[in-house]
Structure 1
Amino acid sequence: MAAKAGMIIQRVVLNSRPGKNGVPVAENFRLEQSTIPDTVQEGQVRVRTLYLSVDPYMRCRMNEDTGSDYLLPWQLSEVADGGGIGVVEESKHHNFAKGDIVTSFNWPWQTVAILDGSLLQKVVPELVNGRLSYFLGAAGLTGLTALLGIREKGHVTVGANQTMVVSGAAGACGSLAGQIGRLEGCSRVVGIAGTDEKCSILVSEMGFDAAINYKTGNVAQQLRELCPGGVDVYFDNVGGDISDTVISQMNQNSHIILCGQISQYNKDVPYPPPLPPGTEKIQKERNITRERFLVLNYMDKQEASILQLCQWIQEGKLKVRETVVEGLANIGAAFQSMMNGGNIGKQIVLVSK
């Protein structure tokens, strides 16, 4: 039986797994040619991919077992997926028309796709001054994670003279979290990052009061100097030794926003990773909250939160940094670079203009 004709597309599939404790490399992904049907069925939408997001949580999806009940593993030789944004080319779904800009958390890594319209959300480019990629970052899941993390788990109170520390502060989420902490009422915000350039940008562009280069500085000593009143809110993106150091300087009844544990992602440990006994003792004695935070549990607050983020962007109160890599073929290299901490801000792949 002859194969049905279809539209030729490019897609990226999972080529190999790095292993539970392995470091991901570009070669774990493979670009290949494929086809999609020429016709769109009722309820479906054909979209051309504009931008794709690569994010630290995807490291868990490279394992056969993600260690999480809400994340499905990517399958070998199957197309990878994640946050994406694109333009509708043909629609048989009542919510969408040709030319609409749409987004999804489960966008396949391919140039063109036919998707179930119920999985898509329409976006308004004017809300982000036409910067569509922002809907994958500052005005998307990344921004929501920072804002809702701070509001739901940070217990920030205007006028309470609170100090916030952010680890992984130059990353997509951390760079927003520090700024949002200030906008929500923190009086002092200190970031921890891995290069002098990142630290400089956090202070000069993002409005952090100070930033510590953990690779060259004595983190414990600098925290004592920069946070003389102790730490009230800790936005934790990294876990590991840095978090142990921050927690040791946290105040009574303070709060950890458990966003990510990137230092632990290439290790076979449960999430969230248990604290060392000494750190756990401090946490309990000082009544420091450290609860798992999952933004997907707060989707009822998504719409209002996105509008708040967009308003701050339009007003210039939320500064956005992106590292944009061009071409679907380079998404594996972009993922490797992000996991190595080589970027400032959000890592985005431009698939087509």
Structure 2
Amino acid sequence: MGIIRRAVLHSRPGKNSEPVAENFFVEEANLPDGIAEGQVKVQTLYLSVDPYMLDPELVDGHLSYFLGAVGMPGLTALFGVKEKGHVTPGASQTMVVSGAAGACGSLAGQIGRLEGCSRVVGISGSDEKCSILVSELGFDAAVNYKRGNMTQKLREFCPAGVDIYFDNVGGDVSDVVLSQMNQNSHVILCGQISQYNKDVPYPPPLSPQTEAALRDKNITRDRFLVLWYADKHEAGILQLSQWVREGKLKVRETVTKGLENIGAAFQSMMKGGNIGKQIVLVSEE
């Protein structure tokens, strides 16, 4: 018998509570030496850590990219922009991305540019993240919403208003962006991470003022699931991998080492501690 380690969900946070590392624990278990017909024994190298839960040559051997840029987050960013963003090359559109330094947001802004947006502005929660968005990921500007001057900064960085908003966070941040959107603009409703630890329906209800702005400006606000586009996943993977290999799509990852740290990695991700995709490195062998 072989000995393996496995991560187990130990408890749930409960209503209106945040997940903590102690919700998980790692235990040892026995694995039979032999395998039955139709079974296969594999070794885990990387684990993905998400709010939800291929050929190595496609990513030049970077296997972890299949958990991020060339995996579900990448496909979510790609189909969100292409199917719900109404990007029109040459139309001088401005895109704003909240949660812009996360796994999906960091890709969505770059894809918006590749698809034809003339200006891309990110919103994140630290000066370090804002600097990386501009210096490494090609965003035109970035706003640290924690500095308290978001309304002013967004107006400064989006002088012609906002045409496309890739919404990953919801809440007060999104209310500010929605107040500065143009007539006939579009909201890509990807996530509402600021609301995930609250006992509210999805998508969370908007304030009467924000609802009025959507109605008066004829702003579309469409939610979507990446699984709706399953028939396009193969083509999407090929497109994303091509952009990565060509250097057009930059990839950032936050790597936590050790299966025993999966709970801490999940907790950090939910609090915005990651830049790019949060993954857990289980084994380097």
State the TM-score, normalized to the length of structure 2. 0.97
Unaligned regions of 5+ residues in structure 1, if any? 1-5, 58-81, 83-122
Q: Aligned pair 1:23/2:22, yes or no?
A: no
> Residues of 2 paired with 1:37 and 1:300: CA distance?
38
Q: Aligned pair 1:283/2:214, yes or no?
A: yes
Cα deviation for residue 42 of structure 1 reads: 3.6
- SS of equivalent residue, structure 2 residue 11: coil
Mapping of residues 187-336 of structure 1, within 5 Å: 187-336=118-267
Of the candidates 61, 75, 78, which is equivalent to residue 130 of structure 1? Answer: 61
> Residues of 2 paired with 1:332 and 1:49: CA distance?
17
Structure holding more helix per residue: 2
Cα deviation for residue 267 of structure 1 reads: 0.2
Q: Aligned pair 1:41/2:28, yes or no?
A: no
Cα deviation for residue 38 of structure 1 reads: 3.5
> Residues of 2 paired with 1:330 and 1:148: CA distance?
32
Cα deviation for residue 24 of structure 1 reads: 0.9
Cα deviation for residue 44 of structure 1 reads: 2.9
> Which one scores higher on RCO, CA 8 angstroms, separation ≥ 6?
2
Per-residue Cα deviation, 1:146-187 (whole angstroms, up to 9, x for no partner)? 001101110111111100000000111111111000000000
**Alignment-mate amino acid for residue 146 of structure 1:** A
Structure holding more strand per residue: 1
Cα deviation for residue 40 of structure 1 reads: 3.0
Unaligned regions of 5+ residues in structure 2, if any? none
> Residues of 1 paired with 2:27 and 2:102: CA distance?
30
- SS of equivalent residue, structure 1 residue 215: helix
> Residues of 2 paired with 1:157 and 1:227: CA distance?
18
Of the candidates 74, 88, 98, which is equivalent to residue 167 of structure 1? Answer: 98
Cα deviation for residue 218 of structure 1 reads: 1.2
- SS of equivalent residue, structure 1 residue 135: helix
- SS of equivalent residue, structure 2 residue 182: strand
> Residues of 1 paired with 2:210 and 2:30: CA distance?
53
Cα deviation for residue 352 of structure 1 reads: 1.1
**Alignment-mate amino acid for residue 7 of structure 2:** V
Cα deviation for residue 342 of structure 1 reads: 1.1
> Residues of 1 paired with 2:188 and 2:72: CA distance?
16
- SS of equivalent residue, structure 1 residue 126: helix
- SS of equivalent residue, structure 1 residue 49: coil
**Alignment-mate amino acid for residue 129 of structure 2:** K
Length, aligned pairs only: 284
State the TM-score, normalized to the length of structure 1. 0.79
- SS of equivalent residue, structure 2 residue 95: strand
> Residues of 1 paired with 2:78 and 2:21: CA distance?
31
Aligned counterpart, 1:351: 282
Aligned-residue CA RMSD (Å): 1.1
> Residues of 2 paired with 1:149 and 1:181: CA distance?
10
- % same residue: 76
**Alignment-mate amino acid for residue 137 of structure 1:** G
Q: Aligned pair 1:56/2:48, yes or no?
A: no
> Residues of 2 paired with 1:314 and 1:14: CA distance?
36
Cα deviation for residue 132 of structure 1 reads: 0.5
- SS of equivalent residue, structure 2 residue 42: strand
> Residues of 2 paired with 1:20 and 1:46: CA distance?
38
- SS of equivalent residue, structure 1 residue 313: helix
- SS of equivalent residue, structure 1 residue 48: coil
- SS of equivalent residue, structure 1 residue 257: strand
- SS of equivalent residue, structure 2 residue 229: helix
